[in-house]
Amino acid sequence: MSSIFTKRLTKELKDLNQKPPEGVEIEEAESFKKWKLRLTGAPGTIYEFRFTPQYPLEAPDVVFVRPHVPIYSNGHICLNILYKDWSPVQTVAHVCLSIISMMSSCKKKELPPDNDMYIQLAAKSPKKTPWAFQVRTCKRI
């Protein structure tokens, strides 16, 4: 495993345990490959973070274990910082706060309009989806 990967995730896990952002709780983090976090922005929601040794240079895969609207029913999240706008300065805490913000500001509590088609065609990793980001909306292309 890459040394930057191990050092970075060790530090982030320590920070999340000692001073988690409001609304973020670790459900499971037994390895550096996958963590499950509970965010209180969407009641009862658990998110799974999957890390590759390229982290933090590459964004983690983040999916909902128990999806809520407006997230795709397979748990995929259309959030630009997880794809085209990823930067190594982002942390798991930053991603969690972005998800809480997205869920809290969502006015329409419904599945994305292309949900049924998307879940039939989507790869396991949401990073394999070519997303199109627009102001206040997101769709796959």
How would you class 109 by CB atoms within 10 Å of its CB: exposed for 0-12, middle for 13-18, buried for 19 or more? exposed
Catalytic position from the list 78, 96, 106, 138:
78
Q: Which of 51, 138, 52 is nearest to 102 (CA)?
A: 138
Q: Is 96 an active-site residue?
A: no
Q: Which amino acid is at 115?
A: N
The helix, strand and coil proportions of the chain, stated in percent and rounded to the nearest 5, come to 30, 20, 50
Which residue numbers are catalytic?
Answer: 78
